[in-house]
Structure 1
Amino acid sequence: MVVNSSGVDSQAGGSQMSNVTRYLSAAAYLDSGFRDRVLGELLFDPYRAVPPSYGGFDVMPVLHHCRRSRSMLLVRDGLITAFFVIGLVMAPLPTIAWLSALLPFVLLTVRAIRRGPLFLRVLIWLWAGYSVFSLFVGLVLVDLGRVLGRMVGGGFTGGSSEALFAAGLGSLVQALVIPVATLGVALVYRFAVYMTLAGSLRPGAPEPVTPAGDDRTGRRLDYLRRAQWGNVTMYDNEDAFMGAGSVRRSWSIAVELDRVRGEAGGERRDEPVDIDPVDLHGFVRERLAEMRDRVLRPNEGIQRLDIGDHVVTRGLFTVADWHRDRKVVAHPFIGQDGLPRFMATPEEIAAIARHPQGGVRYYQRVTINNAGQEIRDLRGNLVAPAEDQEALTSAFIYLAVEGRMLYTQFVVTVLPPAYGPYHVVDRLPTMTGGRIAWESVRMLRLELLRDVLAAPVRVVRAGVQAIRQSAMTPDPRKHIVYPYGAGFSVRQLGADEELQTYIQVLDVNKYTKMIEQRLTEAVLDFLEERGIETGAYRLQAAGVITDNSVNVNVQEGGVFSGAMGVGQNASATVNKRA
């Protein structure tokens, strides 16, 4: 059994980042929740597995920009916190007034308040207006009054009016320096972020060079770089198809293997026909590969079709529960270095396929990346360039010989494009520096004030996390059962909730139909070559491939004739007759 029949989308494709990799790298700067979850998942636990990357996605640039974004954020929050400390020492009243003025604006960014009752939002806006009045009217006018008072008083005492004015103006500047400094740091940070988006993540940008840092981080990065191209998915939750999207369609067919073709139809034999699931998988794989390789014209082939192996296992292992040479050793899917294995050998895959009741399951994976192809006329003139639809359609095929039966399972998953706001990296490179600065402010609005107020909290939280992570270094040797499985897929975390266009929906349906029809015909041909009766398989396949859609005729008296449409994507048409 071939481990991977096509390396088109299974290895890092050169030095240029794919579109979806650029978009999720931008999420590291635009979405703090995304950045924190990615760093916690990939770097905190060095023994945690990573899901495979599909469709040209590379997790390493995303991780690089998440680390870079965190460093930039720490610098920004550290500077803002330092200005607050200086302000509380040198000018406590203006600094406290500035913090109080920020609070209502920050509350308006809370999702529960934004979606809450209108009356509450109106009250908070009134509070915000009063805070602004107190800050810029109360403090500023008081300082101006002091200036004027000192000037008038200086005229009677012989003091210099220019000196009194300078002293009063200095007091006014002292009242405004902390608000201007903290807000200025936040603005400079946002501008630097958007300049990074416009430069390092522009279309066609090369992959960044990821520095290793300390030895522990270097070892983890090296593992992630290799593991994302593996064929083993070790999951910590219920998602055995992690990284491929959500399940959109599934069906299964079970037929007997002890019925062979005869003159009277399917005749039962005492001994079932010998069917090797490994041979069946290889036969199906060749038929599927013909959709890409054996076509009359190059434009008719599905160029972005990738066929590979998908071995799934739950990543909750007893640390030492296997015996070899009378010695207790770790689970076979834990390598010599103590890390989860990410690549199963062809021999192991064949053994897993032949043992359907084992704790590890094998699927043949068929992935189609809707990247599109360019259109040219007969003279070679370009009609339309290739358009990246970003959506990813994957089909997982499970074939098991068990209990004198052949069981066929077909699962389709769909991975939508990256979240819409992350596509801003396609628009920024054409803008001027002034326009980029305006976009950085316009996209944030009240969030800019939230960043200023939350800076000290983020500094404290970062320090606590650093201490906790250094004191709580994961070590499987200290546990009887250790969760090695991956928690989530980075690509799936940054995906939109649904497909973005109806054309993408139609493409998913098209490729699903094509793959399942090719699979069904391949299995039928394989069984017929071995003389097995295929009538039952054809009958079940006719129901699932037509989306379980049937016609139900309701006769007078309430008598139903025909099958009912049930299951996922099922539909039924009811015709009533008088």
Structure 2
Amino acid sequence: MRNSTIRSILHDRFRAVAQSPGVDLATMLKYGLMAQRRQQVRDAVLAVLAVATLALLSSPLVLLPIFLAWLVVFAELYDAHESVILTRLTRHSFDPAEAPLPSSPALRDHLVDIADRGAGNVTVFADYSPFVGYGSRINNWSFTMNVAKARPGETVVPFAVGELYDRVAAEIAALGLPGLTVGDKLFVNGLDLRYETDPELQAAVLPDALLPPVPTVSERFIHQLRDNPRTRARPYLTVSVTGWEGEVVISIFLRFVLLAEKGMMFTEAGYSLLPPLREAYREVDRLVNCAPSERMARIALSALRRTAAALVLALPNTLAALSEPRRRRRQQKASIKAIRGHTFNYGAAYNPREHATDHLYHRYFQQLDKEMYVKAAEQRIMDAVADFLEEHNVDVSDLRERQTTILNNGIFVTGQAQVTGASMAAGTGAVARMESRIRQGVGQAAAAARPDLAGRRQV
């Protein structure tokens, strides 16, 4: 993941960067670069020892370079654990301002640029889903309604769609949920930037074809796009709730389209979830509670397990590191050729936070809080829309019925239905079965076979 992050974000100078709520990409990259340099030095030494091992393969002395290889792997792991993880990356010692800076001035400047992009309001995506960096889509709903239909005896008071956006944003912000952010964001496909958008959008997002898209556009420009739903760039009111110190992030994307000539309004909402990180990335929490002798033993054992693979891969890794500048130059030339050939995709295609996520909740309360965040925001959104339209004398009777359906998460209870706390059965002969996971993937047998899955629930 470290190498992919450095290659896809730091060294791909033409693509956009997709930030995730609660993640400091610049700090991640600083530590990643330091680890990469340390392991490149390790691989260079191991490459020499690998050649020596091959040369002494038929001699009893072959054990000497193998022992030295284990010693090199052990030294690198010891330095990583004792000098970096336990001194800089524990809960009590971590300080982003103390992250190591690369020696290259160009890299330092680029890291500052990446940090600035975290506060931007533009997401340029490369693939199907526009919400890169926000996790997997877990739900969505939409509806249309006639906003030209007045309540009996009243006349509809005209309104602009921007007024509705502002009202909903203010109502959600008043909820006071933990880690709540509410703001307008613009989403546009990286293939559409140069050739499938109007000149004003291209000038705002991609003023220079040989530079990455800008991370921020003016609020005035986003407000213009709210009123013009025909463009391929889509503004969304983006609501993110970052709970459990960034472990669980729920994001809601809202869009209102007012078709004034037909008196119709289209409303859509999409939900994305960033689940907790995988257990493999929690090693620091286990090491910090170990005695020094126990840590030393664990590092020695880990080095023993890694030595054979490290020796085999040392020479290829070293050659790859030496050829990396040439590879980047080739990549840059290929990107420029694609830009001039009208085939380059400026969108962000990789996000480390999404690749590091687990498919299991680590705590029952994480799942419960996720439901609470969704339901609280959902209720406030629907109330704000209905109240706003009522204030403009719109007949919202249909909307109130749809509100009940949406807030009940699509569960319809009709006829001879029976609902309990953990199941639902409807109709003659219907059978309710409890489902313990949101998405199919890990069964109860797998959870029972792996102790580390005990008490965790599929996302």
Question: What is the aligned counterpart of 1:528 among 386, 390, 397?
Answer: 390
Question: What is the aligned counterpart of 1:505 among 363, 367, 372?
Answer: 367
Where does residue 456 of structure 2 map in the other structure? none
Q: Any stretches of 5+ residues in structure 1 without a counterpart?
A: 1-33, 95-138, 140-173, 293-301, 372-387, 555-561, 563-569
Residue identity opposite 2:43 in structure 1: D
Q: Using the alignment, how far apart are the partners of 2:355 and 2:349 within structure 1? A: 11
Which string of whole-angstrom CA distances, capped at 9 and with x for unpartnered residues, describes residues 299-337 of structure 1? xxx242221222111011465788979xxx965311458
Question: What is the aligned counterpart of 2:346 among 471, 481, 484?
Answer: 484
| Alpha-carbon distance change, 330 to 233 in structure 1, aligned in 2, over 3 angstroms | closer
Count of residue pairs the alignment pairs up: 417
Where does residue 427 of structure 1 map in the other structure? 286
Where does residue 573 of structure 1 map in the other structure? 426
Q: Is the 8 A contact 2:53 2:62 kept in 1?
A: no
Q: Using the alignment, how far apart are the partners of 2:186 and 2:13 within structure 1? A: 21
| Alpha-carbon distance change, 274 to 448 in structure 1, aligned in 2, over 3 angstroms | farther
Q: Using the alignment, how far apart are the partners of 2:183 and 2:30 within structure 1? A: 27
Q: Using the alignment, how far apart are the partners of 1:338 and 1:67 within structure 2? A: 23
| Alpha-carbon distance change, 86 to 309 in structure 1, aligned in 2, over 3 angstroms | same
Q: Using the alignment, how far apart are the partners of 1:321 and 1:549 within structure 2? A: 40
Where does residue 10 of structure 1 map in the other structure? none
Q: Using the alignment, how far apart are the partners of 1:389 and 1:216 within structure 2? A: 30
| Alpha-carbon distance change, 571 to 462 in structure 1, aligned in 2, over 3 angstroms | farther
Question: What is the aligned counterpart of 1:517 among 356, 361, 379?
Answer: 379
| Alpha-carbon distance change, 453 to 234 in structure 1, aligned in 2, over 3 angstroms | same
Which string of whole-angstrom CA distances, capped at 9 and with x for unpartnered residues, describes residues 435-483 of structure 1? 2222224456633421222211211232333322233324365442321
Which secondary structure does the structure 2 equivalent of 1:278 belong to?
helix
Which one has the largest radius of gyration? 1
Paired-residue identity, %: 20
Where does residue 69 of structure 1 map in the other structure? 35
Residue identity opposite 2:354 in structure 1: Q
Which secondary structure does the structure 1 equivalent of 2:19 belong to?
coil
Q: Is the 8 A contact 2:180 2:240 kept in 1?
A: yes
Comparing 63-72 with 418-427, greater Cα deviation is found at: 418-427
Q: Is the 8 A contact 2:169 2:183 kept in 1?
A: no
Q: Using the alignment, how far apart are the partners of 2:198 and 2:178 within structure 1? A: 46
Where does residue 236 of structure 1 map in the other structure? 126
Where does residue 135 of structure 2 map in the other structure? 245
What does 1:119-198 correspond to in 2, within 5 Å?
A: 139=60, 174-195=61-82, 196-198=84-86
The offset of 1:175, in angstroms, is 3.8
Q: Using the alignment, how far apart are the partners of 1:321 and 1:535 within structure 2? A: 40
What do you get for the CA RMSD once the two structures are aligned?
Answer: 2.8
Q: Is the 8 A contact 2:125 2:132 kept in 1?
A: yes
Which secondary structure does the structure 2 equivalent of 1:553 belong to?
coil
Comparing 211-220 with 421-430, greater Cα deviation is found at: 211-220
Q: In the alignment, is residue 338 of structure 1 matched against residue 211 of structure 2?
A: yes
Q: Is the 8 A contact 1:549 1:572 kept in 2?
A: no
The offset of 1:222, in angstroms, is 2.6
Comparing 431-440 with 198-207, greater Cα deviation is found at: 431-440
Q: Using the alignment, how far apart are the partners of 2:106 and 2:14 within structure 1? A: 11
Which secondary structure does the structure 2 equivalent of 1:248 belong to?
strand
| TM-score under structure 1 length normalisation | 0.67
The offset of 1:275, in angstroms, is 2.9
Question: What is the aligned counterpart of 1:392 among 249, 258, 261?
Answer: 249
Residue identity opposite 2:251 in structure 1: S
Which string of whole-angstrom CA distances, capped at 9 and with x for unpartnered residues, describes residues 15-38 of structure 1? xxxxxxxxxxxxxxxxxxx11110
Which secondary structure does the structure 2 equivalent of 1:261 belong to?
coil
Where does residue 85 of structure 1 map in the other structure? 51
Residue identity opposite 2:78 in structure 1: F
Q: Is the 8 A contact 2:53 2:66 kept in 1?
A: no
Q: Any stretches of 5+ residues in structure 2 without a counterpart?
A: 418-422, 431-459
Q: Using the alignment, how far apart are the partners of 1:548 and 1:477 within structure 2? A: 45
Which string of whole-angstrom CA distances, capped at 9 and with x for unpartnered residues, describes residues 469-498 of structure 1? 233324365442321110122222222123
Where does residue 400 of structure 2 map in the other structure? 538
Where does residue 95 of structure 2 map in the other structure? 206
What does 1:81-120 correspond to in 2, within 5 Å?
A: 81-89=47-55, 91-94=56-59
Where does residue 348 of structure 1 map in the other structure? 221
The offset of 1:252, in angstroms, is 1.1
Q: Is the 8 A contact 1:317 1:482 kept in 2?
A: no
Where does residue 54 of structure 1 map in the other structure? 21
Residue identity opposite 1:546 in structure 2: N
| Alpha-carbon distance change, 320 to 538 in structure 1, aligned in 2, over 3 angstroms | closer
Q: In the alignment, is residue 281 of structure 1 matched against residue 165 of structure 2?
A: yes
The offset of 1:432, in angstroms, is 3.7
Which string of whole-angstrom CA distances, capped at 9 and with x for unpartnered residues, describes residues 364-413 of structure 1? 11111213xxxxxxxxxxxxxxxx47211111111111242111112221
Q: Using the alignment, how far apart are the partners of 2:65 and 2:302 within structure 1? A: 24
What does 1:299-448 correspond to in 2, within 5 Å?
A: 302-317=177-192, 319=194, 331-336=203-208, 338-371=211-244, 388=245, 390-402=247-259, 403-443=262-302, 446-448=305-307
Q: Using the alignment, how far apart are the partners of 2:130 and 2:300 within structure 1? A: 41
Q: Using the alignment, how far apart are the partners of 1:318 and 1:344 within structure 2? A: 14
Comparing 473-482 with 176-185, greater Cα deviation is found at: 473-482
Q: Using the alignment, how far apart are the partners of 2:88 and 2:106 within structure 1? A: 27
Comparing 201-210 with 244-253, greater Cα deviation is found at: 201-210
The offset of 1:426, in angstroms, is 2.1
Q: Is the 8 A contact 2:179 2:241 kept in 1?
A: yes
| TM-score under structure 2 length normalisation | 0.83
| Alpha-carbon distance change, 538 to 324 in structure 1, aligned in 2, over 3 angstroms | closer
